[in-house]
Structure formats: structure tokens, C-alpha cells
Structure 1
Amino acid sequence: MLEHDLAPATRPLIIDGIVLTTPIGGMLTEWARKWGTRIALVHGDQRMTYAALDHHVDRLAGALQKSGLVRGDRILVQMPNSIGLVTILLAALRLGVHPIMAMPAQRAHDLNALVANAQPVAYFAARELHGFQYEVLARSLQQAHPCLRLIVLDGAEVPEDYLQLSALDAPFHPPQPPALTDLALLLLSGGTTGTPKLIPRTHADYAFTFLRSAEMAGVDETTVYLAILPGAHNFILSSPGILGVLSRGGRVVLANAASCDEIMPLIEKESVTHIALVPPLLRLWIEARKWERSDLSSLRLLQIGGARVDAALVKQAQQLFGTMIQQVYGMAEGLICYTRLDDAQHVILNTQGRPMSREDDILIVDSDDHEVTLGETGELLTRGPYTISGYFNAAEHNVSSFTAEGYYRTGDVVCQDADGNITVMGRLKEQINRAGEKIAVAEVEAALTRHPDIEEAVVVAAPDPHLGERICAFLKGASRDLTDIAIREFLRENGMAAYKIPDQYGWISHWPQTAVGKLDRKKLAVLAQARHG
């Protein structure tokens, strides 16, 4: 799927009862008119009102315009949770420029592939985060890809040939605004093929996503939403996330740490009402309450998503935090399911909810694409008004990822009850869900075998109490003197993101096989657990 027609919108669009009249960049101006003096964003000691945010976005859009960016350009945005992340996103959307939303933890391997595919003209990043120097990464990207003519870094002591985000300020000369059906931004797929695929979202379908999600989560002007997971994640950006909360006049608190000794005092300080967690992080939070004594009574809603969660853990969280729980299941490609705030307890504990739109069309099918009977498990297929019909510049993937009838193949194995609630049972494809991050097994295996002392590598998932699943690598080679530390360093030096580097290593003399002579990954997973102790 390539860019949408750039003709201007001529009439409003209505998606499942929500009337859309303005592209996302222009929505901020409407929000500022309603809630100008209210605080919109908080990051550390910084506080920004809706009016100030709208003004800042306008001036930033003007500076980008002055730097040569024009409607239809693409930019790579790899920013941590910060006011800079929000302003870059909204300024780009106002200008009609398409941000590619990369994760702060991604490194050269992923980014080189993204730049080669999408040909962005600019790269935005923090200068440094948690000890990692993004200016070094920026330099290598720019040397490898001539399309990157502009580098903008957020921080002090930016190299002279780069722009400093805080210094970007110029009058904005509004071009013809994007149409509602135009491409707005490109999200990244979790993917099972290694390199993330690009997900094209339009102004209309993405606006519907965060507006309807805000309804589902009970967001209003009193909401204080704490974003601790990366803001480039669809979960944190629009479910309801940053954009959904801003659309209702709430306050967004941005943080780059998830440790309980930092976040729980912040919840007390800012009177946070809404927060989104992945199951491994929820487990750590529950454990931390044995010693952490911050007042968390302001919490009204705890969202859990990114992976299936045990019912016992949900119930424990309800009792411990004294808040409503909402399970969230969805994908950046479109479909989002929620348990409703007034659902029965057994639904909240045991399911991942039901689609948020009456216009969502889902099928659950067997291996022959025949629809299964109600209550049986099968692969989830979906299409609808906010689900994509193809990936960006990925014709080969589109053939395998979408049916002839336009259904997206999620790769998730699910079952559905009579009320429409979905329970996720697992994945069809080889993928590891480590702390909410989806890691393709094939990518890690390929990276390991690039080491001269590793002949073969097989990567499997093993259950982990803290991560949900940990990455376990089994290796064969002529020498077993290679240490875990040396392997990790090799992967880092070759541009692999830290969250994709295996947690556990083991050498093996022969591969276990199934009765039909295929590699038995289940036996390897059992062996990984046994060796872990």
C-alpha cells in the first residue's frame, strides 16, 4: 500500500458514529480553543498548557518548513517519552509530513532497513538516553543513506552540522491541509520476519482509533494519564494513550522509566488516574507493593495489554491497587479490543475484550481458512474502517498477510464467546513476546550465525516470571569457548537492539527432532527451562 491521494478533503467522514472533519494536526488547535489554559503535558519539571502546545507545534512546523520539509516527505522519529516526541509528531502531521515512529531501543539493524524502505529525509532523536549516544547512530545512518539530509537532536551540545530541537522556531505558513484519507503516519509492526514492516495509518482511521479508545477508557478532563511504555507504541500513542487523552482535555505525564521506586512516587505526585502496563511489568508492580508505600489511591483505571495475562494476576492487581482493570488486545495494523468498564468480573479476568467498533469484521478460521464454530480456536482474521489493507512498500508481505477478501491475517490463535469477547490462546508464527516486545525468532537466529564460531543457532521462548517470555539461544559450533558475554557484545556491535539479545545461552551437540524428523522446538524450550534451574 503506497501513499494515499493527496487531494484535499471535501466533506466530513463518519466512522461508526464518530464525525471526523479535521486532520490530526488541526485537531490540536481545536483542543487548544477548548482547554487553552489547562495543562496538556508534563515531563519532569516541564509543564505545557494546551495553548502553549499549539503555539509550539505551529512554530516547530514553521521551522521544519524553513528547513526544506514539504508535504508528503517522510521523517524517522526515534524519540523517548518527552514533550519533544509529542511536538514533533503533531508538527509533522500539521505540515503533512509523515513520521515513521521508531522505538528508542531500536538500533542500526532495524533502522537501516526502515530507512532503505521508506527513504525518510530527516531523523529526529534524543542526543543521549540511558547512556546510548544517538548522535553516533545518526552519523552512521546519514553516511549509509544519502536521503537523510537533516538530523535533529534533542539535547545539549549538539554537533554543529545537526539541528538542535529546542532551537527550532519559525513562523508557519500553512500549506493546503492533508485530507482525512491521506497518509498520516507510519507505525512499526511487531512482525515475525525480523525487519519491522511499516503500517500506513490515515488521519481518519487513526483519529477514529484514539477518539473511540478514549470513550472505551472513560477519559475526560479530569484524566491524568501516565505514559511509561514507549510513546511510539500504538498502545501508548492511541489506545487511548497520549492522543486519546489530549482529545478529551486530560493531562499526559511522560516518563522514561518504569521502575517502581521512580514511577509510584510520580503517580502520587501527579495524582495519576490512568496507566497502561504489559503483564511482566504488572508482576513487578505487584511485587514492589510489598515495600513501596506511595499513595496510589488516585488510580482509576489500569490497562493491561501487549500479551495475554493470567486471570489470577488480574484479580491480584484489582485487590492490591483498588482500581478498575481493562484488558486491551489489538495491533498497530488496526483492530483494537477492550473489556468494557462495566463488564462482568469473569469477562475482565478471563478475556481480552471485544472489538471497539460495530464495523469491525472478524473471522476465526482453521488452517484451510474455513470459519470455525463458536468457541473453537483458530486464527483471527480482521478487516474494518480503521484496519489497513496493506503494508507500506511490501508487496510480497501483502500477499501472505491479507486475504483476497481484504482480511488481515493477525497470526493470533483465539477463541470467541457468545458475547463477542476474544481470548488469545497463542501465535501461529515463531515469535517471542518479551516484556511486551515482539521478537522474530528468525532474526535473532540469523544474527547469531553471523558469528564465525557459531555454525547453527535455534532460538526458543521459555516462560519467565519477570519478562513473560525470555529469549533462549541454543548453539552448535566447532568451539564452545565462546562466552555469553562475548556473544552479547558481538550482537550489540552488529546493531541488534538490547531487547532482542538472548537472555540465556546453551551449547548443544544435536538437535531434538519430532517423529517426522522436524526440529522439535518444544523439547528445546523444556531443556531451556531445565537448564535455567
Structure 2
Amino acid sequence: MINLNEDEFYELGKYLYHKRWNIETGENSQKEINNYLNFGKRMEYLAKKYPSKCAIVCEDEQISYSEFRKRYLRLSYYFKNQGFKKGDKFALHLENSEMFIIILFSLLELGIVPVLLLPAHEKKEIMGVVKKADVKAIIVDKRDASYEEIIDEVVRENINLEKVYISMELKNISLDENIDFTDFVSEEVDFNDTALLLLSGGTTGLPKLIARTQGDYIYNNEALARRLLLNEESVFLSILPLAHNFPLGAPGIMGTLLCGGKVVVGKYATPLEILYLIEKEKVTFVSLVPTVLNMCMQYRKIDDSDDLKSLEFIMVGGAVLPAKLSKNVDKLFGAKLIQIYGTAEGLCCCNFLQDDFETRISCQGKPCSPFDILKIVDENGNELPKGKEGELVTKGPYTIKSYYQLEEKQMEYFTSDGFYKTGDRVKIDKRGNVFVLGRAKEQINRAGEKIMPLEIEEALLTNEAIDECAIAGVKDELLGNRICAFVKANKNITLNDIKKYLKSKNMASFKMPDELILVDSMPYTAVKKIDKNKLIKIFEKRKPVFT
């Protein structure tokens, strides 16, 4: 069952949907399904099929599929001998490197659950996750003074943390050919077992924990890989933080490896490194967020000497892509723009490679599984007809039913019939294409008028004087919200200039910004999205421009 045709994969999706929602499934071979929906079994198969084929490239190191499996099995053997077992939690706080992937798969092999912290997470987030997930070990790149503080606090609070590992020390173990793991017996891992804990992408409070199973995560990745026609010739450049779901599994590292392709690990999300690696490694696709894409586009306009002929498509997600950028991607890079919308909680939508240009630049495509169910609802939870704007709620074969250890807040994040509340304002057209308009909580209520920031942002970005902008609602006792424009400009610009420009674009008067704050640079989140919470704090500290 390691290779499925389209009909068989369709039946697998139906089976997973039925299992998740407790619907009678009929007869299926549990053993065959467990072999297919098991990262360890899939890597064993690929190491035999492509023993000498390159699986991972990082800097000047190339690792074949057979060598990759040997390295992570040595670590699996080591962790098992250290007394760790299936179900234990390991927090990974690592920068991009080949060791991130090797460590990840060594844990998946054993059924130990990796908890993926972003490199930008600091003491507050790390401690919150360690407590919430009952983490037994942390793996870090270096144990510096900040980690000593964390360990001291762990000891004081009697948290059940047993080990702190350094990635370089684990690398030495993974390379030790004297380690004989021929008698190593892996854990029996079921497709319903938790594979990993991802963190929610919110910018306020502690991140919520998202438990993804071996089965749902493999199915999710493979569904996207099939949508995008990935195969053993595919070469993926992973330049965003690997702990984020987008580069990890949408389809990212996981989808590429499951197809027998090659993963190129980049360490710095700069245009220089991205374009250099695309040329050097003959990359066929890369995943970027809009801000990083914009930097690459600006660089490409100045210097187009990098040979990008291998590049087939650029996946863009994580935030809504402004039309100013989307319409120029194909021309600047000689590759197709593929927009993706998804959540670490599950649902993934993206364009088809066969979609026409106008479709690809204007929407985020369709769900990757025929068993994804999407509804648009109003503020009272009532379903709206196609074409209407509202909040997207969803459920399906790979979308979670609850957050990890947060059942007491179930109704805050899920409907009574199990639909996940995405918090995104969306519309779906008659063809089933998804158009993401922004976060529902970002909607500005100005004197009773409901305004989505994206509409104003897209209009402003067509102004050549503006490099970047963000629109946010700020509190006002009279209006409820005022509209504040945060602008990074390349020449002098005033609020009146902005209003005149928006008027020329036929923007309604009630959507005009009330205030302007000029910034030298935009603050970004850990995954390079513009951080509007930080912008609002800037507003609270700085004097706005009213003219």
C-alpha cells in the first residue's frame, strides 16, 4: 500500500474522515493503513527505493536517503536507550539545519512527540509550552545563559524535565558508525497516534498546542503534494523557520521527502541566499511569506543575474498577498505563483498549477481534500450563501477537533458540531475558490461601518511612494475605531496625499485613514508577517500625523 493511485488515495481520505468523525468505515486493512500512514515505514521504503539519491542538502553537506535513515535511527536507538518511550514529549528549539530534520524523524520513529518551538520564541513561550505539554526533554542549538535561567526555573517549579540536549552533540551521535542499531526495534506507531505538537500562529498570549497525528499529517502533506504534482525530481527550498507548519508540511519538507524529492535547507531568509540557492541546487519550488517575496522581487528588479530556469512555482502563504505583488511574480521569476491558505490546525487550500493566471493571482484556490467541508458564517454562526463574506469554519479528515489540553475552551474555538473557527474573513465563489480577506478580528468598526484593512492596504500599495503599509483599527471613544495607516515610504508623503490617492482609486470616504504613522521599518512576527500588535503599540507611543 506504499504507492496509491488516485482512486485509492480518494478512498483513504474518505476512511480518515469517517474515522475522525466516528462514522462507520466498513472493511479496511488496519495493517496496510498503518504502514502507509507511518513516517518510519515510509522512510524505510524510500531508503530502499532511493538509497543513493540525495534527500537533504544543507550548506555543503548532501545526505542520501539511506544515510538520512541511518543517522536518525542512530538517534532513535540512543533516545530509547536513554529510557524515553512512545508518548513522551521533546521540545525542539532549533534554527534551520539538517539536524532539525534528522532529530524530528528520530522522534517520529519512536512515537516520541516533538513540540516545535520557533527560534524567535523566548523564555515566556518556552516555559509555557514546557509546562503545558509536560515536556521530558529540550533540544537546543546551544545552552547559553538564557537557557540556564529556564533550567533554573524548571528546577524551582519541579517541572518534569529530565534532559537538555545540544544539537551538535546529537549530530556526533548520529554520525557515529560504531553505534550498532541492527537489533533496534522501533515502537509500534499507530496512524491515530500523535505525531507532533505544532504551535498556533497567534501574536497574543501563549501559543495553543495543536496535536497532529501520524495519519492526518501524512495525508495532509501528500494531498498537497499530489495537487502540486510533486515527484522524485522535485527540489524544495526551505528558507522559513522549519518549526512553522508552512515550510514543514504544506507540503514543504514532509511532502517533498514523502515523494522521494530533495530538500534544500536555507538558514537566512534573504534575497541573496534564496536566489543563490535556487540557482545552485536547481530548486523547483520554494515557500515564502509576502514580506520575503517582496524583498526578493525588489532585489530581482535590480539584479536578475541568478539563473532561475529550474524554478517551476513559488508558493506564497502565511498572510494575504497584495495584488501589487501577485500580478508580477510570474514575469519576474519565470515561475508560476501558487497561493496557499492554511492553518496548522489542518485545512489547506491552494491553487492548481493548471489554474489560469487571473485565478492564481486573485485567490487561494480550493481545499486539498475532497472531504474538507468549508462554511462561511455570519457573526451569529448562521451559514451564508456562496459569494458572501464571513468567517470561515471547517472540518475534514485532517483538521483537529480540539486543541491539546484546552477542552475547557472548546466552544471558543469550535462549533457545537465540530467545525474549527478559523477566525479568518473569507468568501467562496461559485467555482469553490477561496478568497481570504483578512483576520476577522482585524475588521475595523468605524461609526458602525465595517471595514477590512486588506482593501485599503492593497490600494495604497499601488502608490509608488509606498514600499510597505498596514492598516489597523485603533480605539476611539466616539467612533469605536479610527483607521490608522502605518506606512514605510520612499519619499515624503502626508495623510492628505494618502486620502487624495485613495479617492482617485474610488475608495469610499468612510474607509479613508484618520491618521498616518510613518515608520522606518515594519515589525515582523517570528514567521515574517507584519506584526500589527506591535504597530498599535507604536501608535500608542508616537504622535500620529493628521495632515
TM-score range, shorter-chain basis? 0.7 to 0.9
What TM-score do the two structures reach when normalised by structure 2? 0.75
Aligned to 1:153: 166
Aligned to 2:534: 502
Deviation at 1:461, TM superposition (A): 8.2
SS state of the match for residue 327, structure 1? strand
Provide closer, same or farther for how the CA distance between residues 20 and 313 of structure 1 changes in structure 2, counting only shifts above 3 A: farther
**Residues 1:398 and 2:410 aligned together:** yes
In 2, Cα distance between equivalents of 1:82 and 1:500: 30
Residue of 8, 26, 35 corresponding to 2:41: 26
**Residues 1:121 and 2:136 aligned together:** yes
SS state of the match for residue 69, structure 2? helix
Aligned to 1:77: 92
Deviation at 1:429, TM superposition (A): 2.4
Aligned to 1:184: 195
Deviation at 1:401, TM superposition (A): 0.5
Aligned to 2:346: 334
**Paired residues of 1:327 and 1:352 also in contact (CA < 8 A):** yes
Residue of 242, 246, 257 corresponding to 1:235: 246
Aligned to 1:226: 237
**Paired residues of 1:13 and 1:204 also in contact (CA < 8 A):** no
**Residues 1:317 and 2:329 aligned together:** yes
Deviations 1:455-494 (A, max 9, x none): xxx999855569xxxxxxxxxxxxxxxxx9xxx9xxxxxx
In 2, Cα distance between equivalents of 1:66 and 1:50: 24
Residue of 127, 138, 142 corresponding to 1:112: 127
Aligned to 2:274: 263
SS state of the match for residue 57, structure 2? strand
Deviations 1:269-290 (A, max 9, x none): 1111110110111111110013
Deviation at 1:26, TM superposition (A): 2.2
**Paired residues of 1:220 and 1:250 also in contact (CA < 8 A):** yes
Equivalences, count: 443
Residue of 374, 384, 392 corresponding to 1:372: 384
SS state of the match for residue 12, structure 2? strand
Aligned to 2:258: 247
Which blocks of at least 5 consecutive residues in structure 1 are unaligned? 1-11, 156-162, 434-440, 442-457, 467-483, 489-497, 510-523
Provide closer, same or farther for how the CA distance between residues 123 and 145 of structure 1 changes in structure 2, counting only shifts above 3 A: farther
In 1, Cα distance between equivalents of 2:440 and 2:394: 15
**Residues 1:49 and 2:60 aligned together:** no
Q: CA RMSD in A?
A: 3.2
Which blocks of at least 5 consecutive residues in structure 2 are unaligned? 1-9, 17-31, 444-452, 455-471, 473-480, 490-518, 524-529
Residue of 215, 229, 245 corresponding to 1:204: 215
**Paired residues of 1:95 and 1:174 also in contact (CA < 8 A):** no
Structure 1 counterpart of 2:361, which letter?
L
SS state of the match for residue 502, structure 1? helix
Provide closer, same or farther for how the CA distance between residues 276 and 461 of structure 1 changes in structure 2, counting only shifts above 3 A: farther
**Paired residues of 2:393 and 2:419 also in contact (CA < 8 A):** yes
**Paired residues of 2:74 and 2:173 also in contact (CA < 8 A):** no
In 1, Cα distance between equivalents of 2:219 and 2:316: 21
Counting only pairs closer than 5 Å after superposition, residues 470-489 of structure 1 correspond to structure 2 as none
SS state of the match for residue 289, structure 1? helix
SS state of the match for residue 215, structure 1? helix
SS state of the match for residue 376, structure 1? coil
Deviations 1:12-56 (A, max 9, x none): 982258984421122111111111110000001111000001111
Aligned to 2:502: none
In 2, Cα distance between equivalents of 1:337 and 1:270: 28
Deviation at 1:146, TM superposition (A): 3.2
SS state of the match for residue 174, structure 1? coil
**Residues 1:15 and 2:13 aligned together:** yes
**Paired residues of 1:61 and 1:95 also in contact (CA < 8 A):** yes
Deviation at 1:404, TM superposition (A): 1.0
Counting only pairs closer than 5 Å after superposition, residues 268-287 of structure 1 correspond to structure 2 as 268-287=279-298
SS state of the match for residue 99, structure 1? strand
In 2, Cα distance between equivalents of 1:340 and 1:134: 45
**Paired residues of 2:378 and 2:384 also in contact (CA < 8 A):** yes
Deviation at 1:192, TM superposition (A): 5.8
**Paired residues of 1:115 and 1:145 also in contact (CA < 8 A):** no
Residue of 311, 315, 318 corresponding to 1:299: 311
Deviation at 1:165, TM superposition (A): 4.1
Structure 2 counterpart of 1:197, which letter?
K
Give aligned-pair identity as a percent.
33
In 1, Cα distance between equivalents of 2:245 and 2:189: 22
Provide closer, same or farther for how the CA distance between residues 256 and 503 of structure 1 changes in structure 2, counting only shifts above 3 A: farther
Q: Which moved more, 1:408-417 or 1:338-347?
A: 338-347
Deviation at 1:57, TM superposition (A): 1.2
Structure 1 counterpart of 2:43, which letter?
L
In 1, Cα distance between equivalents of 2:354 and 2:365: 12
In 2, Cα distance between equivalents of 1:462 and 1:109: 31
Aligned to 2:80: 65
In 2, Cα distance between equivalents of 1:15 and 1:461: 45
Residue of 367, 372, 386 corresponding to 1:355: 367
Deviations 1:432-465 (A, max 9, x none): 99xxxxxxx9xxxxxxxxxxxxxxxx99985556
Name the structure with the higher helix share. Answer: 2
SS state of the match for residue 325, structure 1? strand
Counting only pairs closer than 5 Å after superposition, residues 412-491 of structure 1 correspond to structure 2 as 412-429=424-441, 463=486
In 2, Cα distance between equivalents of 1:340 and 1:209: 16
In 2, Cα distance between equivalents of 1:86 and 1:251: 13
Which structure has the higher relative contact order (CA within 8 Å, separation 6+)? Answer: 1
